[in-house]
Amino acid sequence: MEELVQQTIDWAAGNGREFALNIITAIAIFIVGRWAAGLVRKVLAKGMRRAKIEETLIGFGTNIAYALILAFVVVAALGQLGVQTASFVAIIGAAGLAVGFALQGALGNFAAGVLIMIFRPFRAGDYVEAAGTAGTIDQIEIFQTRMTSPDNKVIIVPNAAITSGNITNYSAMDTRRCDLVIGVHYDSDLARTKAVLQEIVTGDERVLKEPEPVIVVGELADSSVNFLVRPWCNSADYWALRWDLLERIKNRLDEEGIVIPFPQMDVHLFKEGASQPAGS
Protein backbone atom coordinates (compact mmCIF):
# COMPACT_ATOMS: atom_id res chain seq x y z
CA MET A 1 0.00 0.00 0.00
CA GLU A 2 2.75 2.37 0.91
CA GLU A 3 4.46 1.58 -2.36
CA LEU A 4 1.30 2.50 -4.36
CA VAL A 5 0.94 5.81 -2.51
CA GLN A 6 4.58 6.61 -3.19
CA GLN A 7 4.17 5.84 -6.90
CA THR A 8 1.11 8.12 -7.07
CA ILE A 9 3.03 10.95 -5.39
CA ASP A 10 5.97 10.52 -7.76
CA TRP A 11 3.67 10.55 -10.82
CA ALA A 12 1.85 13.72 -9.65
CA ALA A 13 5.14 15.43 -8.94
CA GLY A 14 6.49 14.61 -12.39
CA ASN A 15 3.35 15.68 -14.24
CA GLY A 16 3.05 18.79 -12.09
CA ARG A 17 6.53 19.88 -13.11
CA GLU A 18 5.68 19.24 -16.77
CA PHE A 19 2.40 21.14 -16.49
CA ALA A 20 4.12 24.06 -14.76
CA LEU A 21 6.76 24.08 -17.49
CA ASN A 22 4.03 24.16 -20.16
CA ILE A 23 2.33 27.08 -18.41
CA ILE A 24 5.59 29.02 -18.25
CA THR A 25 6.30 28.26 -21.92
CA ALA A 26 2.78 29.34 -22.96
CA ILE A 27 3.12 32.62 -21.03
CA ALA A 28 6.51 33.21 -22.65
CA ILE A 29 5.03 32.55 -26.10
CA PHE A 30 2.23 35.02 -25.43
CA ILE A 31 4.53 37.75 -24.07
CA VAL A 32 7.10 37.42 -26.87
CA GLY A 33 4.37 37.10 -29.51
CA ARG A 34 2.57 40.20 -28.24
CA TRP A 35 5.84 42.14 -28.28
CA ALA A 36 6.55 40.93 -31.84
CA ALA A 37 3.03 41.92 -32.95
CA GLY A 38 3.55 45.42 -31.58
CA LEU A 39 6.93 45.66 -33.30
CA VAL A 40 5.43 44.56 -36.64
CA ARG A 41 2.68 47.17 -36.23
CA LYS A 42 5.22 49.95 -35.68
CA VAL A 43 7.43 48.88 -38.59
CA LEU A 44 4.42 48.54 -40.89
CA ALA A 45 3.10 51.97 -39.90
CA LYS A 46 6.51 53.53 -40.51
CA GLY A 47 6.77 51.96 -43.96
CA MET A 48 3.24 53.04 -44.92
CA ARG A 49 3.95 56.61 -43.83
CA ARG A 50 7.08 56.62 -46.00
CA ALA A 51 4.88 55.53 -48.90
CA LYS A 52 2.62 58.53 -48.06
CA ILE A 53 -0.46 56.39 -47.52
CA GLU A 54 -3.48 58.03 -45.88
CA GLU A 55 -3.34 58.01 -42.06
CA THR A 56 -6.79 56.39 -41.85
CA LEU A 57 -5.63 53.41 -43.87
CA ILE A 58 -2.40 53.19 -41.85
CA GLY A 59 -4.29 52.93 -38.57
CA PHE A 60 -6.76 50.39 -39.89
CA GLY A 61 -4.17 48.24 -41.67
CA THR A 62 -1.73 48.12 -38.77
CA ASN A 63 -4.50 47.21 -36.31
CA ILE A 64 -5.66 44.36 -38.57
CA ALA A 65 -2.09 43.04 -38.83
CA TYR A 66 -1.66 43.28 -35.05
CA ALA A 67 -4.93 41.40 -34.41
CA LEU A 68 -4.04 38.60 -36.85
CA ILE A 69 -0.58 38.08 -35.33
CA LEU A 70 -1.99 38.16 -31.81
CA ALA A 71 -4.63 35.57 -32.73
CA PHE A 72 -1.88 33.29 -34.06
CA VAL A 73 0.09 33.79 -30.82
CA VAL A 74 -2.93 32.91 -28.66
CA VAL A 75 -3.53 29.71 -30.67
CA ALA A 76 0.15 28.76 -30.28
CA ALA A 77 0.02 29.39 -26.52
CA LEU A 78 -3.12 27.27 -26.13
CA GLY A 79 -1.50 24.48 -28.12
CA GLN A 80 1.44 24.51 -25.73
CA LEU A 81 -1.01 23.91 -22.87
CA GLY A 82 -2.36 20.85 -24.65
CA VAL A 83 -5.61 22.45 -25.83
CA GLN A 84 -6.89 21.03 -29.13
CA THR A 85 -6.74 24.13 -31.33
CA ALA A 86 -7.85 22.54 -34.60
CA SER A 87 -11.54 22.76 -33.74
CA PHE A 88 -10.99 26.21 -32.26
CA VAL A 89 -9.44 27.46 -35.51
CA ALA A 90 -12.23 25.84 -37.53
CA ILE A 91 -14.86 27.64 -35.45
CA ILE A 92 -13.11 30.97 -35.92
CA GLY A 93 -12.84 30.35 -39.66
CA ALA A 94 -16.52 29.46 -39.98
CA ALA A 95 -17.52 32.51 -37.96
CA GLY A 96 -15.34 34.70 -40.14
CA LEU A 97 -16.89 33.27 -43.30
CA ALA A 98 -20.41 33.89 -41.99
CA VAL A 99 -19.55 37.45 -41.04
CA GLY A 100 -17.98 37.98 -44.47
CA PHE A 101 -21.17 36.91 -46.26
CA ALA A 102 -23.28 39.11 -44.00
CA LEU A 103 -21.08 42.14 -44.63
CA GLN A 104 -20.50 41.81 -48.38
CA GLY A 105 -21.57 45.39 -49.07
CA ALA A 106 -19.47 46.80 -46.24
CA LEU A 107 -16.45 44.76 -47.33
CA GLY A 108 -16.88 46.03 -50.89
CA ASN A 109 -16.88 49.60 -49.62
CA PHE A 110 -13.84 48.83 -47.48
CA ALA A 111 -11.92 47.37 -50.44
CA ALA A 112 -12.88 50.40 -52.54
CA GLY A 113 -11.71 52.71 -49.75
CA VAL A 114 -8.35 50.94 -49.65
CA LEU A 115 -7.98 51.35 -53.43
CA ILE A 116 -8.85 55.04 -53.22
CA MET A 117 -6.27 55.61 -50.49
CA ILE A 118 -3.57 53.66 -52.34
CA PHE A 119 -4.05 54.97 -55.89
CA ARG A 120 -5.31 58.44 -54.86
CA PRO A 121 -7.55 59.46 -57.76
CA PHE A 122 -8.40 62.48 -55.61
CA ARG A 123 -7.49 64.06 -52.30
CA ALA A 124 -9.21 66.19 -49.69
CA GLY A 125 -9.91 69.61 -51.18
CA ASP A 126 -10.28 68.40 -54.79
CA TYR A 127 -13.46 69.13 -56.73
CA VAL A 128 -14.57 65.89 -58.36
CA GLU A 129 -17.48 64.34 -60.19
CA ALA A 130 -18.15 60.72 -59.27
CA ALA A 131 -21.02 58.32 -58.56
CA GLY A 132 -23.50 60.67 -60.24
CA THR A 133 -22.71 63.64 -58.01
CA ALA A 134 -20.13 66.41 -57.78
CA GLY A 135 -18.54 68.30 -54.92
CA THR A 136 -15.39 69.15 -52.98
CA ILE A 137 -13.82 66.21 -51.14
CA ASP A 138 -13.90 66.80 -47.38
CA GLN A 139 -12.79 63.45 -45.97
CA ILE A 140 -11.92 60.01 -47.34
CA GLU A 141 -12.98 57.33 -44.89
CA ILE A 142 -12.66 53.54 -44.97
CA PHE A 143 -16.25 52.87 -46.04
CA GLN A 144 -17.41 56.20 -47.48
CA THR A 145 -16.30 59.56 -48.82
CA ARG A 146 -17.73 62.89 -47.66
CA MET A 147 -18.23 65.71 -50.17
CA THR A 148 -19.58 69.27 -49.99
CA SER A 149 -21.64 70.43 -52.95
CA PRO A 150 -21.26 73.96 -54.39
CA ASP A 151 -24.47 74.97 -52.56
CA ASN A 152 -23.00 73.71 -49.26
CA LYS A 153 -24.77 70.38 -48.94
CA VAL A 154 -22.96 67.43 -47.35
CA ILE A 155 -22.92 64.39 -49.65
CA ILE A 156 -21.88 60.98 -48.28
CA VAL A 157 -21.03 58.52 -51.05
CA PRO A 158 -20.17 54.80 -50.53
CA ASN A 159 -16.67 54.11 -51.78
CA ALA A 160 -17.81 51.18 -53.93
CA ALA A 161 -20.12 53.51 -55.88
CA ILE A 162 -17.17 55.83 -56.58
CA THR A 163 -14.75 53.19 -57.85
CA SER A 164 -17.40 51.42 -59.95
CA GLY A 165 -17.73 54.35 -62.38
CA ASN A 166 -15.81 57.20 -63.97
CA ILE A 167 -14.09 59.76 -61.74
CA THR A 168 -13.55 63.29 -63.07
CA ASN A 169 -11.09 65.29 -60.97
CA TYR A 170 -11.30 68.97 -61.86
CA SER A 171 -8.54 69.91 -59.42
CA ALA A 172 -5.91 67.38 -60.44
CA MET A 173 -4.20 69.71 -62.94
CA ASP A 174 -2.93 73.22 -62.30
CA THR A 175 -4.54 74.62 -65.45
CA ARG A 176 -7.88 74.17 -67.23
CA ARG A 177 -9.34 75.13 -70.58
CA CYS A 178 -12.46 77.25 -70.50
CA ASP A 179 -14.73 76.15 -73.38
CA LEU A 180 -17.28 78.71 -74.60
CA VAL A 181 -19.60 78.55 -77.61
CA ILE A 182 -20.63 81.99 -78.93
CA GLY A 183 -23.26 82.07 -81.68
CA VAL A 184 -23.65 85.09 -84.00
CA HIS A 185 -26.05 85.89 -86.83
CA TYR A 186 -25.31 84.58 -90.32
CA ASP A 187 -25.12 88.19 -91.59
CA SER A 188 -22.31 89.03 -89.14
CA ASP A 189 -18.79 89.87 -90.33
CA LEU A 190 -16.89 86.79 -89.16
CA ALA A 191 -13.44 88.40 -89.31
CA ARG A 192 -14.59 91.35 -87.23
CA THR A 193 -16.39 89.10 -84.76
CA LYS A 194 -13.29 86.97 -84.35
CA ALA A 195 -11.15 90.07 -83.75
CA VAL A 196 -13.55 91.31 -81.07
CA LEU A 197 -13.56 87.95 -79.30
CA GLN A 198 -9.76 87.81 -79.49
CA GLU A 199 -9.48 91.26 -77.94
CA ILE A 200 -11.82 90.37 -75.07
CA VAL A 201 -10.05 87.11 -74.27
CA THR A 202 -6.46 88.37 -74.47
CA GLY A 203 -7.37 91.45 -72.47
CA ASP A 204 -8.07 89.40 -69.36
CA GLU A 205 -4.92 88.91 -67.27
CA ARG A 206 -6.19 85.57 -65.96
CA VAL A 207 -5.96 84.05 -69.44
CA LEU A 208 -2.64 82.24 -69.89
CA LYS A 209 -0.31 83.09 -72.77
CA GLU A 210 0.63 79.44 -73.17
CA PRO A 211 -1.18 77.50 -74.46
CA GLU A 212 -2.57 80.23 -76.70
CA PRO A 213 -6.34 80.80 -76.72
CA VAL A 214 -8.18 79.17 -79.60
CA ILE A 215 -10.94 81.16 -81.35
CA VAL A 216 -12.36 79.50 -84.47
CA VAL A 217 -15.62 78.97 -86.32
CA GLY A 218 -16.73 75.61 -84.98
CA GLU A 219 -20.16 75.04 -86.48
CA LEU A 220 -22.68 76.39 -88.98
CA ALA A 221 -25.75 75.73 -86.87
CA ASP A 222 -29.45 76.08 -87.77
CA SER A 223 -29.80 79.63 -86.45
CA SER A 224 -26.24 80.84 -85.89
CA VAL A 225 -22.58 80.66 -86.76
CA ASN A 226 -20.95 79.23 -83.64
CA PHE A 227 -17.50 80.38 -82.55
CA LEU A 228 -15.47 78.12 -80.26
CA VAL A 229 -13.69 80.29 -77.69
CA ARG A 230 -11.14 78.27 -75.70
CA PRO A 231 -8.74 80.16 -73.41
CA TRP A 232 -6.56 78.49 -70.76
CA CYS A 233 -6.38 79.60 -67.12
CA ASN A 234 -5.33 78.44 -63.69
CA SER A 235 -7.79 75.97 -62.23
CA ALA A 236 -8.59 78.29 -59.32
CA ASP A 237 -9.67 81.04 -61.78
CA TYR A 238 -11.89 78.86 -63.97
CA TRP A 239 -15.41 79.74 -62.85
CA ALA A 240 -14.75 83.44 -62.25
CA LEU A 241 -13.12 83.74 -65.69
CA ARG A 242 -15.95 81.87 -67.41
CA TRP A 243 -18.68 84.04 -65.91
CA ASP A 244 -16.79 87.28 -66.58
CA LEU A 245 -16.03 86.38 -70.19
CA LEU A 246 -19.66 85.54 -70.94
CA GLU A 247 -20.81 88.88 -69.56
CA ARG A 248 -18.12 90.89 -71.35
CA ILE A 249 -18.70 89.12 -74.66
CA LYS A 250 -22.44 89.82 -74.54
CA ASN A 251 -21.97 93.50 -73.69
CA ARG A 252 -19.20 94.01 -76.24
CA LEU A 253 -21.08 92.32 -79.09
CA ASP A 254 -24.08 94.50 -78.34
CA GLU A 255 -21.85 97.58 -78.52
CA GLU A 256 -20.40 96.43 -81.85
CA GLY A 257 -23.82 95.72 -83.29
CA ILE A 258 -23.08 92.02 -83.70
CA VAL A 259 -26.29 90.10 -83.22
CA ILE A 260 -26.51 86.97 -81.08
CA PRO A 261 -29.50 85.13 -82.60
CA PHE A 262 -31.97 82.85 -80.90
CA PRO A 263 -33.92 79.94 -82.38
CA GLN A 264 -37.04 80.98 -84.28
CA MET A 265 -40.04 79.03 -85.53
CA ASP A 266 -42.46 80.02 -88.27
CA VAL A 267 -46.09 79.08 -87.52
CA HIS A 268 -48.63 79.02 -90.40
CA LEU A 269 -52.34 79.30 -89.58
CA PHE A 270 -55.07 78.12 -91.97
CA LYS A 271 -58.77 78.89 -91.78
CA GLU A 272 -61.09 75.93 -91.29
CA GLY A 273 -62.39 74.69 -94.63
CA ALA A 274 -59.73 76.52 -96.61
CA SER A 275 -57.86 74.57 -99.24
CA GLN A 276 -54.59 73.09 -98.01
CA PRO A 277 -51.34 73.86 -99.80
CA ALA A 278 -50.27 71.34 -102.34
CA GLY A 279 -48.32 68.46 -100.80
CA SER A 280 -49.73 69.00 -97.27
Question: Which CATH number goes with the domain that contains 151?
Answer: 2.30.30.60
Residues 127 and 209 in one domain: no
Same domain, 131 and 156: yes
Establish if 263 belongs to a structural domain: no
Please enumerate in sequence order all residues whose Cβ is within 8 A of that of 255, keeping only pairs 6 or more positions apart, or say none: none
More confident residue, 77 or 132: 132
Domain that holds residue 89: 2-102
Same domain, yes or no: 160 and 193: no
83: in domain: yes
Three-state secondary structure along the chain? Answer: CHHHHHHHHHHHHHHHHHHHHHHHHHHHHHHHHHHHHHHHHHHHHHHHHHCCCCHHHHHHHHHHHHHHHHHHHHHHHHHHCCCCHHHHHHHHHHHHHHHHHHCHHHHHHHHHHHHHHHHCCCCCCCEEEECCEEEEEEEECCCEEEEECCCCCEEEEEHHHHHCCCEEECCCCCEEECCEEEEECCCCCHHHHHHHHHHHHHCCCCCCCCCCCEEEEEEECCCCEEEEEECEEEHHHHHHHHHHHHHHHHHHHHHHCCCCCCCCCCCCCCCCCCCCCCCC
Total domains in the chain come to 3
Does one domain contain both 17 and 58? yes
pLDDT in tens, 55-93: 766 777 787 788 888 888 888 887 777 766 666 666 666
> pLDDT class for 280, splitting at 50, 70, 90?
very low
Whole-number average pLDDT of the chain: 84
Report pLDDT for 108: 84
> pLDDT tens digits, residue range 206-223?
999 999 999 999 999 988
* Domain-located, residue 151: yes
d(CA 204, CA 249) in angstroms, rounded, equals 12
In a domain, 267, yes or no: no
Would you say residue 280 lies in a domain? no
165 and 80 assigned to the same domain: no
Q: Does residue 36 belong to any structural domain of this protein?
A: yes
Please report whether residue 108 resides in a domain.
no
Last residue of a domain, one of 102, 134, 156: 102
Q: Which of 44-48, 96-100, 184-188 has the lowest mean pLDDT?
A: 96-100
Same domain, 180 and 148: no
Is position 16 within any domain?
Answer: yes
Same domain for 130 and 190?
Answer: no
Residues 80 and 53 in one domain: yes
User: Do 49 and 35 share a structural domain?
Assistant: yes
Judgement on whether residues 208 and 250 belong to the same structural domain of the protein: yes
One domain for residues 18 and 89: yes
User: End of a domain among 169, 199, 226?
Assistant: 169
Question: Which CATH number belongs to the domain containing residue 240 in this structure?
Answer: 3.30.70.100
Cβ-count burial of 125 within 10 angstroms (0-12 exposed, 13-18 middle, 19+ buried)?
exposed
Residues 92 and 133 in one domain: no
pLDDT score, position 110 = 83
Q: Of 113, 148, 169, which closes a domain?
A: 169
C-alpha 256, offset from chain centre:
47
- Name which of 110-119, 125-134, 138-147, 150-159 the model is least confident about: 110-119
pLDDT band at 272 (very low <50, low <70, confident <90, very high): confident
Q: Residue 52: which CATH number?
A: 1.10.287.1260
pLDDT above 50: residue 195: yes
Quote the pTM value. Answer: 0.64
